[in-house]
């Protein structure tokens, strides 16, 4: 087992895989660790390279800095109290008038709030990354505000609920915050068994949910007496029954109670007549009201604000002056109660029960009737099973999951996924600001989870984690392992192992592809966690399964932009064209594939991981952020549809989705994988070509990368600081087949860089040394694995999309002017003054990374009807094989060609093979060869 890391080692080690690898810095006055100290920090022994902190790599001018600025502006301006609203409500604390963000961060009944709290975790991570990358105090201050509030929330959840006092109609009132699940529990004798009664109350409802009870006295769903603020018609309803809903005798109001205003309601029953009053006016009368409290007998549940029907919402709003009289007040007496307290009115206070709500201590409401029936404030769910519990909703979701066998996100929606986001945000907050409160909250959450999950049978855990959606737990294993790296508590490591999904681990470890039909983003982050579990335990199956899983996605379920999934799910292996839809490439999937690629690279420096990282980062991730700012929304995509003419939606699903959360994170950590260092300090990896400056404190070296890449086809590295000897490892992208050249101080470095590798330059580096990398771009296509005629276009690393209003696949030909290198760019016309913009047959092609709302075509139908070389038409139809590959495809698959003779030789050999196979006549074949020989070619 790997040894625990010191507190200040976390971001250089454990959370490096979480893309927040940086130094602890204090927002509370303590001194931060120096860069040199962080550079020397421990990393898991299994890591052969280590990352740099976000504060060690600063972004230079360019597309990454531009997109990040938009997100930083959002992070500076958004009111964090809105994010905290759902937490404070759950704890029964004042929400300070804040309005929840809505969408997935709404309360019950608002776009399903069963994931609420997740977005707060994302926001904390974004703030932490923003602070590390910018050192702007505003971000540390906002973190401190949120951590402080969450500390108060946990403390409140640990206690019995306490009255939240607000200004009432006449004095103090008791506020029941929506989302607090609080109600008032009255003693059993409150109705007194009387045959005549008046119940009078002032209420100020704050939500319009149907069937929320102002009061409900009953024995479950058969014998009860209640007053609902709104029935299904939206008006108040009183009812009494001894035989369930079918036997209700009722009184229905005529108008809805206004929200956020005080209303007085009274119900009287006497002599077979019941009357409902609203603000002193009788709005309903029932002269056949034979049932009275005397018929109900002794009742178990006597509640203000809670229904005997478990599916009904808890009343949201304020109460003042609840009085119960053992007689029916007159209309004049009810009217008198509109203008004065009962104590000051001719009625006096209720003789059966009387609560003014200003005569209160803690969670107890004094009864002024003289009967001593003090009421108690309670939560419908009681309280946490462990003091470390922290969430924006009750623990009931976690409890329900333990017996659930099927998914129903309206009841249980991924509670451990939500817990992960909060845990991750707290860890990132701690490592960014060194606020011990955040670490204490994170540690407490894991203590609580261990207390629950460690008691469950193994079979229960396996069933839970296998349930789609409800059992989703995101990257929680990674976060727990990161916490264990700090605390060293054995319970935390044991907790991480309780999330083993053995069916998935064992299948992937055995290279058995079982991904068809699985929810993509439910499973990708699992494997990043399993790699971290390998780091902590040394169990090989974790690492092996993650490696094999990655290979099952890339390229077998990968779209050209690097994304994966359709409608959030995976389909069969190697089916790409057959899965393109308007809901392709969920953005969270790209985010998590980048994290997994990065984490695997720490163990094995296979260039394929960084080739993928570049593909997904420079295309889908950049393109998922709209190129404009917004105070309310981060403006990032959920799905990126790859169907013809798709328009990106940057405000999906009412906001605050998982992808908007990861989108905020992505836009504040663009620099996290530009550079890595070999664990022993002997080499520096340059993984990405991005304008940036690295401060390698351990060596006393700075490296400034100056480039406009990908607009520029190369980059320049300039060294500063002390002299140091190490190997510079420059990634040679797999697409760099047109030549990759390196000079040091103007002199060419010998060697033959191979695409899809790293090119080493070893020397004693000195201040002022300059390394120039040239990597000419080629324009090429990538074919869908299941349909060779469906293709996507790349210029170097840049995916080009057609801007065209058509909603059918565009038909595109590209071979007609192909050069000897195989470069298809000769068929495109550059747009003057617009880098990486081209036109072809009247349609503009632009980088996928541009965050616009133009209709786009990422895939097109490749159509090459005639065999054409160098613009010369042979007149021969371009034949195709049954799999879709054409004669021209096979000829140009041999590119690059050293000269025209090599190309003609390839044409002759290919033609002969097709003639022999009966796919081409000899006469047409000779014509094709003659045309190839007669044509002129560009390089």
For residue 510, which of 475, 552, 473, 571 has the smallest C-alpha distance? Answer: 552
Beta strands 360-361; 364-365: pairing state: antiparallel
CA angle 633, 638, 642 (to 5 degrees): 130
> What is the distance between the alpha carbons of residues 592 and 878, in angstroms, rounded to a whole number?
42
- Regarding whether 113 and 43 lie in a shared domain, the answer is yes
What is residue 336's predicted lDDT score, i.e. its pLDDT? Answer: 98
Per-residue pLDDT tens over the stretch 72-128: 999 999 999 999 999 999 999 999 999 999 889 988 767 678 999 999 999 999 999
Question: For residues 217 and 191, is the Cβ–Cβ distance under 8 A?
Answer: yes
Same domain, 139 and 197: no
Tell me the C-alpha distance between 373 and 244, whole Å: 27
Structural domain contains residue 161: no
Indicate if the alpha-carbon torsion angle 295, 300, 305, 310 is positive or negative.
negative
- Alpha carbons 693 and 269: distance in angstroms, whole number: 80
Is the CB of residue 907 less than 8 Å from the CB of residue 872?
A: no
**Residue 220, both tokens:** 């479950």
Residue for token digits 């989302």?
A: 179
Is 446 in contact with 423 (CB distance < 8 Å)? Answer: yes
- Answer whether residue 13 is part of any domain: yes
* Local structure of 670: helix, strand or coil: coil
- Please check the confidence at residue 27 and state whether its pLDDT lies above 50: no
| 632 located within any domain | no
Residue 911 resides in a domain: yes
**Rounded-to-integer distance, Cα 114 and Cα 94, Å:** 21
What H or E segment, with its residue span, contains residue 675? Answer: strand 675-678
Here the contacts of 870-875 (C-beta below 8 Å, separation 24 or greater) are 870/817, 870/935, 870/936, 870/937, 870/938, 871/816, 871/817, 871/935, 872/931, 872/934, 872/935, 873/931, 874/927, 874/928, 874/930, 874/931, 875/927
Nearest Cα neighbor of 78 from 129, 34, 139 is 139
- The burial class, CB within 10 Å (0-12 / 13-18 / 19+), for 208 is middle
pLDDT at 350: 98
- pLDDT tens digit sequence for 676-713: 999 999 999 999 999 999 999 999 999 999 999 999 99
**What local confidence, expressed as pLDDT, does residue 674 receive?**
98
Residues 624 and 637 sit within 8 Å (Cβ to Cβ): yes
Q: What average pLDDT score do residues 519-545 get?
A: 98
Number of H helices, E strands in the chain: 23, 40
Neighbours of 498 (CB within 10 A): 17
Buried residues in 187-203 as b, exposed as e (16+ CB within 10 A): eeebbbbbeebbbbbbb
User: Residue 654: its pLDDT value, please?
Assistant: 79
Residue 634, CA distances (Å) to 78, 391, 470, 651 in order: 10, 23, 26, 8
Give me 197's structure tokens.
Answer: 């009664």
Contact 169, 320 (CB under 8 A): yes
Q: Are 373 and 506 part of one and the same domain? A: no
Same domain, 214 and 139: no
Q: What is Dmax (Cα atoms) for the chain?
A: 114
Residue 358: the pLDDT is 84
Q: What is the tens place of the pLDDT at every residue in 417-469?
A: 999 999 999 999 999 999 999 999 999 999 999 999 999 999 999 999 999 99
139 and 192 assigned to the same domain: no
pLDDT digits (tens, 9 = 90+) for 601-656: 999 999 999 999 999 999 999 999 999 999 999 999 999 999 999 999 999 887 89
Residue 167 CB neighbour total at 10 angstroms: 11
- Pairing mode of beta strands 724-732, 683-686: parallel
Whether residues 548 and 510 share a domain: the answer is yes
Kindly state whether residues 487 and 361 are assigned to the same domain: no
Both structure tokens of 428: 């990132």
CA 432 → CA 7, 9, 10, 486, distances in Å? 12, 12, 10, 14
pLDDT of residue 883: 77
Q: Which two tokens stand for residue 24?
A: 């602890």
Quickly state the pLDDT bin for 529 (edges 50, 70, 90).
very high
Q: Rounded to whole angstroms, how far apart are CA atoms 689 and 716?
A: 9
pTM (predicted TM-score): 0.93
Same domain, 371 and 455: no
Does 585 have pLDDT greater than 70? yes
Q: What pLDDT is recorded for position 11? A: 43
Cα separation, 792 vs 810, whole angstroms: 11
Tokens found for residue 49: 């390279």
Task: Tell me the residue range of the domain where 903 lies.
Answer: 864-939
In this structure, is residue 397 part of a structural domain? yes
Of residues 504, 523, 527, 401, the one with CA closest to residue 452: 401
Q: How much is the pLDDT for 14? A: 43
Cα separation, 269 vs 290, whole angstroms? 9
Looking at the fold, whether 423 and 407 belong to one and the same domain comes out as: yes
Q: CA–CA separation, 339 vs 280, rounded Å?
A: 10
Looking at 533, 556, 579, the residue that finishes a domain is 556
Q: Please tell me the predicted confidence (pLDDT) of residue 25.
A: 27
Go through 342-361 and write b for each residue having 16 or more CB atoms within 10 A of its CB, e for each that does not.
beebebebbbbbbbbbbebe
Do 137 and 232 share a structural domain? no
Cis peptide, bond prior to residue 710, ω within 30 of zero: yes
Q: Is residue 169 part of a domain?
A: no
The string of pLDDT tens digits covering residues 260-280 is 999 999 999 999 999 999 999
**Confidence grade of residue 885 (pLDDT, cut at 50, 70, 90):** confident
Q: Considering the chain, what percentage of its residues have pLDDT values greater than 70?
A: 95
DSSP assignment of 647-662: ---SSGGGS--HHHHH
**Strand pairing report for 787-795 and 843-847:** unpaired
Residues 508 and 527 in one domain: yes
Nearest CA among 11, 31, 27 for reference residue 19:
11
Q: Same structural domain for residues 237 and 149? A: no
CB of 17 within 8 A of CB of 528?
yes
Mean pLDDT, the chain, whole residue set: 94
Q: Tell me whether residue 612 is in a domain.
A: no
List, in sequence order, every beta strand (DSSP E) within 206-296. 213-219, 223-228, 237-241, 249-252, 263-270, 273-278, 281-286
Quick one: tokens of 660?
A: 């908007």
| Tens digit of each residue's pLDDT (9 = 90 or more) over 902-912 | 999 999 999 99
Q: What's the token pair of residue 613?
A: 């990282």
Of 343, 363, 379, the residue at which a domain comes to its end is 379
Which residue from 818, 721, 708 is spatially nearest to 768, judged by alpha carbons? Answer: 721
Domain harbouring 273, CATH code: 2.60.120.200
Domain termination residue (choose one: 379, 400, 430): 379
Our count of domains for the chain comes to: 4
State yes or no: pLDDT of 3 exceeds 70: no
Q: Is residue 433 part of a domain?
A: yes
How far apart, in Å, do the first and last CA atoms of the chain sit?
Answer: 56
pLDDT score, position 6: 39
Distance CA 840, CA 830 (A): 9
Q: Left (φ > 0), alpha (ψ -120 to 50) or beta: where does 768 sit?
A: left
């Amino acid at each position: 087992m790997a040894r625990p890391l010191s507190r200040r080692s976390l971001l250089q080690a454990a959370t490096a895989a979480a893309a927040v690898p940086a130094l602890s810095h204090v927002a509370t006055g303590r001194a931060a660790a120096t860069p040199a100290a962080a550079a020397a920090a421990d990393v898991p022994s299994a890591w052969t390279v280590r990352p740099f902190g976000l504060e060690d790599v600063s972004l230079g001018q360019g597309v990454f800095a531009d997109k990040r600025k938009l997100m930083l502006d959002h992070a500076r301006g958004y009111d964090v109290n809105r994010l905290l609203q759902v937490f404070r409500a759950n704890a029964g604390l004042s929400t300070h008038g804040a309005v929840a963000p809505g969408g997935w961060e709404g309360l019950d009944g608002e776009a399903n709030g069963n994931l609420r709290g997740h977005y707060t975790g994302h926001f904390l991570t974004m703030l932490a990354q923003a602070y590390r990358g910018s050192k702007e105090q505003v971000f540390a201050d906002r973190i401190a505000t949120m951590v402080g509030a969450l500390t108060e929330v946990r403390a409140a959840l640990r206690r019995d609920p306490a009255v939240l006092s607000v200004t009432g109609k006449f004095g103090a009132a008791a506020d029941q915050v929506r989302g607090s699940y609080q109600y008032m529990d009255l003693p059993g004798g409150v109705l007194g068994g009387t045959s005549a009664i008046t119940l009078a109350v002032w209420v100020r409802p704050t939500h319009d949910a149907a069937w929320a009870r102002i009061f409900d006295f009953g024995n479950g769903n058969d014998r009860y007496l209640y007053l609902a603020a709104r029935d299904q018609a939206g008006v108040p309803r009183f009812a009494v029954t001894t035989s369930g809903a079918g036997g209700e005798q009722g009184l229905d109001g005529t108008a809805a109670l206004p929200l956020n205003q005080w209303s007085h309601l009274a119900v009287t029953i006497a002599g077979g007549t019941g009357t409902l009053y609203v603000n002193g006016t009788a709005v309903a009368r029932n002269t056949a009201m034979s049932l009275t409290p005397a018929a109900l007998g002794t009742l178990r549940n006597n509640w203000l604000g809670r229904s005997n029907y478990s599916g009904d919402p808890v009343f949201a709003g304020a109460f003042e002056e609840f009085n119960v009289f053992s007689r029916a007040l007159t209309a004049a007496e009810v009217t008198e109660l509109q203008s004065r307290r009962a104590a000051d009115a001719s009625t006096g206070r209720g003789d059966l029960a009387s609560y003014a709500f200003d005569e209160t201590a803690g969670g107890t409401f004094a009864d002024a009737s003289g009967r001593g029936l003090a009421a108690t404030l309670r939560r419908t769910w009681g309280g946490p099973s462990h003091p470390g519990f922290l969430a924006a909703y009750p623990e009931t979701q976690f409890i329900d999951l333990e017996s659930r066998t099927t998914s129903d996100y309206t009841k249980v929606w991924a509670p451990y996924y939500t817990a992960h986001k909060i845990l991750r945000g707290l860890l990132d907050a701690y490592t960014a600001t060194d606020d011990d409160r955040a670490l204490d909250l994170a540690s407490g959450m894991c203590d609580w989870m261990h207390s629950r999950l460690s008691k469950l049978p193994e079979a229960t855990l396996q069933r839970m984690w296998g349930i789609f959606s409800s059992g989703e737990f995101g990257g929680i294993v990674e976060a727990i392992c990161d916490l264990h790296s700090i605390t060293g508590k054995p319970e935390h490591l044991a907790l991480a192992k309780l999330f083993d999904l053995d069916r998935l681990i064992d299948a992937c470890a055995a290279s058995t592809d079982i991904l068809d039909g699985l929810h993509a983003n439910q499973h990708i982050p699992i494997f990043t966690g399993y790699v971290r579990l390998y780091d902590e335990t040394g169990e090989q199956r974790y690492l092996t399964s993650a490696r094999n899983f990655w290979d099952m996605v890339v390229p077998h379920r990968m779209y050209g932009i690097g994304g994966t999934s359709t409608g959030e799910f995976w389909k069969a292996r190697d089916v790409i064209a057959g899965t393109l839809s308007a809901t392709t490439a969920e953005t969270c999937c790209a985010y998590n594939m980048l994290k997994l690629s990065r984490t695997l690279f720490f163990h094995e420096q296979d260039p394929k991981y960084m080739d993928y990282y570049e593909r997904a980062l420079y295309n889908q991730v950049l393109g998922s952020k709209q190129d404009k700012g917004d105070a309310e929304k981060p403006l990032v995509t959920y799905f990126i549809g790859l169907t013809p003419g798709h328009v990106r939606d940057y405000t999906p699903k009412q906001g605050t989705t998982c992808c908007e959360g990861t989108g905020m994170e992505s836009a504040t950590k663009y620099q996290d994988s530009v550079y890595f260092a070999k664990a022993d300090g002997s080499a520096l990896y340059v993984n990405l070509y991005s304008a940036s400056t690295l401060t390698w404190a351990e060596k006393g070296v700075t490296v400034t990368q100056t480039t406009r890449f990908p607009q520029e086809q190369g980059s320049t590295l300039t060294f500063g600081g002390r002299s140091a000897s190490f190997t510079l490892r420059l990634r040679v992208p797999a697409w760099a087949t047109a030549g990759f050249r390196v000079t040091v101080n103007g002199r060419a470095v010998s060697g033959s860089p191979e695409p899809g590798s790293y090119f080493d330059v070893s020397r004693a580096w000195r201040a002022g040394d300059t390394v120039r990398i040239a990597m000419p771009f080629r324009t090429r296509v990538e074919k869908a694995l299941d349909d060779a005629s469906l293709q996507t276009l790349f210029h170097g690393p840049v995916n080009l999309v057609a801007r065209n209003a058509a909603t059918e696949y565009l038909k595109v030909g590209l071979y007609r002017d192909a050069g000897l290198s195989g470069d298809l760019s000769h068929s495109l016309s550059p747009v003057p003054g617009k880098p990486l913009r081209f036109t072809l047959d009247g349609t503009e092609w632009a980088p996928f990374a541009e965050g616009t709302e133009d209709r786009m075509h990422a895939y097109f139908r490749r159509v090459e009807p005639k065999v054409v070389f160098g613009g010369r038409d042979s007149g021969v139809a371009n034949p195709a094989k049954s799999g879709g590959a054409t004669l021209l495809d096979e000829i140009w698959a041999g590119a690059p060609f050293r000269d025209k003779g090599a190309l003609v030789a390839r044409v002759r050999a290919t033609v002969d093979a097709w003639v022999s196979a009966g796919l081409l006549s000899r006469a047409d074949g000779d014509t094709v060869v003659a045309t190839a020989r007669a044509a002129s070619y560009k390089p």
